[in-house]
Amino acid sequence: MPVVLILGGTTEARELAGELVGEFRVITSLAGRVRAPAPLPGEVRIGGFGGVEGLVAWLRDEQIDAIVDATHPFAAQMTAHAVAAAERAGVPYLRLDRPGFPPDPAWTVVASLEEAAAALTGDRVFLTTGRQNLRVFAECPQWFLVRAVDPPSGPAPARMQVLLDRGPFTVDGERALLREHRIDVLVTKDSGGSATEAKLEAARAEGVAVVLVARPPGPSGVPTVAEAARWVRATTPSRTKLW
């Protein structure tokens, strides 16, 4: 049975694993940043590979026939390592990259979290950029509502409330949250996907300003699970291992 590695951590990775299990041996790799990830179809490995060299060795040890990179759009380092390792190991690689949020001219679009911190307006901020980089906002004077799956650690804003929650979210629920906390500005990443789009619709309806961090550049790929599944099926039957 051909072996497919899915670099996961997204809804699309989960859906693709479910689509391919039974036809292929499916291994989904997670970075391990979430303490209790939801169950996944097929096999699961958690943790890093040890850079490009470690990933090349792992691909060869597991005799991987194809890689689908369905990591978060902002997991730029993992994507770069996957591209390099796939080329060195001779393993077909595909990026599954869900579309970003539909643009809105009213939003302030910035290139980095640092630029987002500099662009803040108002006094009350809803921050949904994850728990990893709160240090960027540590010196900001605003009050922050920080939503994350797991509790944050390290440097963080002095005025902060943490909300532990996991999507998908509804527009009505997000509107109520914005009103309850009297939010002036929403800061988020252009991660795309329906699970978190509701906050942007809610901000638009409630007149809340939006600061959106643009995606980092990356390889071209396909936008849907169906296209990724078709690529896997077309790629693996004629695969000839190079080791």
Q: Which two tokens stand for residue 230?
A: 């078709």
Q: Which two tokens stand for residue 201?
A: 């619709």
Average pLDDT, the chain: 92
- The single-letter DSSP state of residue 182 is T
Task: Give the domain range for residue 112.
Answer: 108-213
Alpha helices in 73-192 (DSSP H): 76-89, 113-118, 171-180
State pLDDT tens for residues 213-241: 999 988 999 999 999 999 999 998 644 44
pLDDT of residue 219: 92
Structural domain contains residue 84: yes
User: How far is 238 from 44, CA to CA, in rounded Å?
Assistant: 25
Structural domain contains residue 103: no
* 199 lies in the same domain as 231: no
Mean pLDDT check: name the lowest of 96-100, 105-109, 135-139, 166-170.
166-170
- Yes or no: say if 174 and 198 are a contact pair by the CB < 8 Å rule: yes
Look at 166 and 77; give whichever has higher pLDDT.
77
* 130 lies in the same domain as 79: no
State pLDDT tens for residues 58-67: 999 999 999 9
Structural domain contains residue 243: no
Bridge partners of 108, per DSSP, are 211
* 147 lies in the same domain as 192: yes
Residue type, 55: L
* 180 lies in the same domain as 202: yes
- Yes or no: say if 235 and 92 are a contact pair by the CB < 8 Å rule: yes
Describe the strand order of the beta sheet including 160-164 as a list of residue ranges: 108-110, 209-213, 185-189, 124-127, 143-148, 160-164
For residues 10-38, average pLDDT? 87
* 129 lies in the same domain as 206: yes
Bridge partners of 119, per DSSP, are none
Q: Is it the case that residue 53 has pLDDT exceeding 80?
A: yes
Strands 25-30 and 43-46: parallel
Alpha helices in 124-217 (DSSP H): 171-180, 198-206
Question: Domain total for the chain?
Answer: 2
Residue 238 burial by CB count (10 A; 0-12/13-18/19+): exposed, middle or buried? exposed
* 150 lies in the same domain as 228: no
* 85 lies in the same domain as 7: yes
* 127 lies in the same domain as 82: no
Structural domain contains residue 242: no
pLDDT of residue 131: 84
User: How far is 209 from 113, CA to CA, in rounded Å?
Assistant: 16
Using pLDDT thresholds of 50, 70 and 90, give the confidence band for residue 201: very high
Instruction: Return the CATH number at 57.
Output: 3.40.50.1380
* 26 lies in the same domain as 123: no
